Amino acid sequence: MRSKRKYEDIGPTQRNLRRKLGREALAAIGVPASALCDPKPTPATMLALATAERRKVRTVDSMEIVSENKMTECKLTLATTHGTRTAPFSFPRAGEQENAAVGAYVCDPLRLLLAVAAQSPFLCVGGDKGGGFTKLGVTYRSHQRQHFLPLLVFEGDDHYDDLEALRKPDVTKFEGSSEPHKTIYDVLQFIITEYKAFLNGDWPFISCMLQHKGHAADYPCPICIVEKEKLFLPLPIADQSMEILCIPFAMHFFQFLQSALYPLLFISTLELIIELFSMLSKNSSVKNNSSH
């Protein structure tokens, strides 16, 4: 007897015929075809929903989803396979002895980044404060949408004192492929250097990371050497003197020497992405102050 071809190798007409024969065979023994199908979604597909949202879905009798025990097993598996395990930390607030800032970080951020952003056309290191918490992470693109992957979150401001406290070696203890890196800035610097990532953020955040003095400095632009008084000259750059031409950020190092504060990250000016609204708002304030 000649063996039948695989279902995947036959055409639409033969597939319809086999499905009909299959339904008739199941009906002959009293088993509905739907009984052989598992309508429950996999735990991985439910990760996008919060625990409270999953509980709400379970109140609908006609909808069946996996249990929370299965969800926990899935998360524990992903912690091993994709580097999603997290750990808490705390450190004293700047200028305070008793009150401690708390936060959490991804234990193997490089493995997690490789798992979720391997196909991204770009990577962009960045951070911002919102809701009383500051997030440090990486922006990437997947399925035609941009996503932000937080690698560390802590309760505090995006000012230098709080961000510099993350440099302490006992704050983060990375594992796996990230174990050689002692601080979150070591990880972010590795991403910038090895993956040619950009640095993104508003002007205060960029200035804090690079220890640039910001819009109030004598040379407020972190990309070009432009004196504060010459920011709004109407002449094009090509007609200006050499001092306002775009040059590598190493030329700003003289500003670092004037301060005891050390930059948190190093990057070329060609890889800086400063939010336009932040630049315009800060520039307008500089212009208004200079007019007085």
pLDDT at 175: 93
Max avg pLDDT among 12-16, 22-26, 137-141, 162-166: 137-141
**CA-to-CA separations, 50 to 45, 53, 55, 56, 80, in angstroms, rounded:** 12, 5, 9, 10, 21
User: What SS3 state is found at 128?
Assistant: strand
First to last CA, the chain: 98
pLDDT at 86: 93
| pLDDT exceeds cutoff 70 at 26 | yes
Q: Residue 102 and residue 156: Cα distance in Å, rounded?
A: 8
Percent of the chain with pLDDT over 70: 75
How many other CB atoms are there within 10 angstroms of residue 216's CB atom? 12
Residue ranges per structural domain of the chain: 7-80, 109-291
For 216-274, how does the pLDDT look when each residue is reduced to its tens digit (9 = 90+)?
A: 777 777 666 677 777 666 544 433 333 333 334 444 444 444 445 678 888 876 677 66
Q: At what angle do helices 68-81 and 51-58 cross, to 10 degrees?
A: 150
Transcribe 72-123 into DSSP letters.
HHHHHHHHHHT---EEEEEEEPTT-SS-EEEEEEESSHHHHHHHHHTT-S-E
For 84-107, how does the pLDDT look when each residue is reduced to its tens digit (9 = 90+)?
A: 999 999 877 655 555 677 899 999
User: What SS3 state is found at 266?
Assistant: coil
Max avg pLDDT among 164-173, 207-216, 236-245: 164-173
pLDDT at 245: 37
pTM of the model: 0.68
Mean pLDDT computed over every residue of the chain? 79
Band of residue 154 on the pLDDT scale cut at 50, 70, 90: very high
pLDDT at 234: 57
Q: Residue 69 and residue 79: Cα distance in Å, rounded?
A: 15
**CA-to-CA separations, 194 to 35, 110, 139, 186, 281, in angstroms, rounded:** 52, 11, 16, 12, 33
| Average pLDDT for 46-75 | 88
pLDDT at 80: 85
Percent of the chain with pLDDT over 90: 30
| Average pLDDT for 29-49 | 81
Q: Residue 106 and residue 153: Cα distance in Å, rounded?
A: 9
pLDDT at 212: 75
| Average pLDDT for 15-36 | 87
